[in-house]
Amino acid sequence: MHPPKCRLTCGIIGALSLAMTIFTLSCGNQRDDKVSAKEATTERPQGQSSEPVQTQIEPSEVSQRMSQAFSDGKYTYLFFYEPGNGNCEIMEKNLDSFARKTKKDVEIIKVDRKDPRNKDIVTGLRTQTAPIPLTLLFDPSSAIVAAFTKVVTEEELTQAFPSPKKVETLEYIRQGKGVILCFSSKRMPSRKAVQTCCSQAQDALAGKAEYIHIDLSDPKEAGFIKELRIDLNMAEPITFVINSQGQVTGKYGTEVQVANLVEAATRVVKSGCCPPSSGKSCPPATPEKK
């Protein structure tokens, strides 16, 4: 069995950091599964053990475990590490502790990137030179919904699970559509006017993009709202536009117009890219020359 195919796209999302979790560990204007991640050197913190993270997973077993997890409807953390790396050891402990405490139905699979037996999964996902520790979260459909290229906490692992609206957003982008995301609350005076504008833009786009409204008071969307750095105390709605490449191409307040949303949703751009969840923002996008 071959490793699951991942459509990894990287956008200028900085705050949207999905990393925009539909990503890619890739750079440039490529929009397929090719990965060109920057190689990173991680020093072992003083006092950390140099003992390697233990794993007995054979290549075929990794694929079988992933396939079975998806079949069982589980989210799956795929953890890439290298023996003797202190940060990998810390991340492994966090993953193990998370697995013991979480109430979610998850599978955690550890892969020694240096072990030749794991060559199929490493090369299949093109993670040979990605920064480590590298932790990828797959949803039950085998799509990557989060990626970490550093040590993260148990809380961050929990927050990585996508909210209903985030799942919907990622699915539309996987379908090759743009997305109009409007965040508002009932107390906002221009709420209805902005929502009407977004709905009209969706109609004008005729299936090329979809409109999603997110209520700031919805507890299920708290993680997604925080991820996008939305101010819960803002006075008026804010609207993001994401093109089919997974790049944020527009951000509007009450001045939003149908024409703006349509143009932004269908805009094709070129941009550089940073590794998912690296904490770095991507450089400004440049419109692609026709």
* pLDDT of residue 100 exceeding 60: yes
CA proximity to 271, closest of 2, 37, 9, 4? 9
With residue 183 as reference, give the H or E element that holds it. strand 178-184
Q: What is the pLDDT of residues 29-63, one digit of tens each?
A: 333 333 333 333 334 444 444 444 444 454 458 88
- How many CA atoms are closer than 13 Å to the CA of 78, on its beta-carbon side? 30
Cα gap 187→157, rounded to integer Å: 33
pLDDT of residue 271: 54
Confidence of residue 223 (pLDDT cuts 50, 70, 90): confident
Confidence of residue 197 (pLDDT cuts 50, 70, 90): very high
Please state whether the predicted TM-score (pTM) of the whole model is above 0.85.
Answer: no
pLDDT of residue 60: 59
Mean pLDDT of 89-117: 90
Mean pLDDT of 123-141: 90
Residue 12 CA to its chain's centroid (Å):
12
Residue with the bigger pLDDT between 278 and 123: it is: 123
Q: What is the pLDDT of residues 159-183, one digit of tens each?
A: 888 889 998 998 898 899 999 999 9
Mean pLDDT of 102-127: 88
Domain regions of the chain by residue span: 14-159, 164-268
The mean pLDDT of the chain is 77
Residue with the bigger pLDDT between 58 and 74: it is: 74
pLDDT of residue 253: 93
CATH code that applies to domain 164-268: 3.40.30.10
Supply 272's token pair.
Answer: 């550089």
The reply to whether 14-159 and 164-268 are identical in fold is yes
Share of the chain above pLDDT 70, in %: 72
Mean pLDDT of 80-107: 92
pLDDT of residue 241: 96
Decide if domain 14-159 falls under CATH 3.40.30.10. yes
Share of the chain above pLDDT 90, in %: 44
* pLDDT of residue 96 exceeding 90: yes
Omega within 30 of 0 (cis) for the link into 133: yes
Torsion, Cα 20 21 25 26, to 10 degrees, reads -40
Note whether 241 and 179 are within 8 A (CB). Answer: yes
CA proximity to 135, closest of 114, 156, 154, 150? 150
